[in-house]
Amino acid sequence: MIPPPMPRRRTQRPSHTRVPRIAARLIATTRKPRNAATEPTLPGRRWTLLLIRDLLRSGPRRFQDFLAAQPGLAPTVLSARLKVMEEHGLVTRRGYSTHPPRDEYLLTEKAGSCFQW
């Protein structure tokens, strides 16, 4: 007769990798509150300020110009950021070619007044 298989033991993380609950609460309560002046809330996440900076420096830009200026920026991320910025009224899209369809992006007056230097 074959004996039944032994039940598996659950493995736990070593105790030095776990954060005690009290320490986690302490960390959560000692964080500095966000300040609207130092951390502006912009539509989108990463790359948004860099895209706005490029538009302020060099004026209207094409999609490929953004990709060439920002190494590491994926086309899908760029497309998503530009759409969100367009929805919030920071960027306008202007078509300049019908075949193939090509667009040019430029800052609106709203964005220009917010980011003057």
Residue, of 74 and 40, whose pLDDT is higher: 74
Q: What is the CATH number of the domain that holds 61?
A: 1.10.10.10
Q: How many domains are there within the chain? A: 1
Taking a C-beta distance cutoff of 8 angstroms, is the pair 47, 73 a contact?
yes
Looking at the domain assignment, is residue 5 inside a domain?
Answer: no
Answering whether pTM is above 0.75, one says no
Looking at the domain assignment, is residue 34 inside a domain?
Answer: no
Token pair recorded at residue 106: 């430029």
Looking at the domain assignment, is residue 68 inside a domain?
Answer: yes
Looking at the domain assignment, is residue 37 inside a domain?
Answer: no
Looking at the domain assignment, is residue 8 inside a domain?
Answer: no
Expressed as residue numbers, the domain containing 102 is: 48-114
Looking at the domain assignment, is residue 71 inside a domain?
Answer: yes
Looking at the domain assignment, is residue 58 inside a domain?
Answer: yes
Dihedral (Cα; 23, 25, 31, 33), 10-degree rounding: 180
d(CA 67, CA 63): 7
- What pLDDT digit, counting tens, does each position of 44-102 carry? 577 888 898 899 888 999 999 999 999 889 999 999 999 988 988 889 999 988 788 88
- CB 82: neighbour CB atoms within 10 A? 21
Looking at the domain assignment, is residue 21 inside a domain?
Answer: no
